[in-house]
Amino acid sequence: DAKTTQPTSMDCAEGRAANLPCNHSTISGNEYVYWYRQIHSQGPQYIIHGLKNNETNEMASLIITEDRKSSTLILPHATLRDTAVYYCIVRLSGGGADGLTFGKGTHLIIQP
């Protein structure tokens, strides 16, 4: 699976959009970009995933650059409950071990 690079921590004001970047410059054509988050000591929570196109669901939007070497997770109106560690994960679409490889993620702190 491709390696990802994320900032260690970020702050965002409550009510503003939180934009979390992720670099995955070695991504290959059949690898998906996934985002999960973990609120302190709870089980990780799936947020969104995509292959090439931008994706949106009720939680967030995922913007993937045209060359697919980076992506941005957008939480449109951050609340205090969005304070968590956010993990960007790149995974093969088929074959190999199926477990997720979590890095250190980005600790997003929403400020009141």
List phi, psi (to 5°) of 80.
-60, -30
99 lies in the site for other proteins, by CB under 8 A: yes
Q: What Rg value do the Cα atoms of the chain yield, rounded?
A: 13
Selection from 47, 68, 66 nearest residue 57 by Cα = 47
Could you say which residues in the range 19-38 bind other proteins, by CB under 8 A? 32, 34, 38
Q: Which of 26, 28, 45, 54 binds other proteins (CB under 8 A)?
A: 45
Q: Strand 9-13 and strand 70-75: pairing?
A: unpaired
Point out which span in 4-12, 20-28, 63-71, 85-93 binds other proteins (CB under 8 A). Answer: 85-93
Q: Which is nearer to other proteins, 101 or 111 (CB)?
A: 101
List phi, psi (to 5°) of 85.
-95, 125
CB of 98 to other proteins, least distance (A): 5
| Binding stretches for other proteins (CB under 8 A) | 32, 34, 38, 41-46, 49, 91-94, 96-104
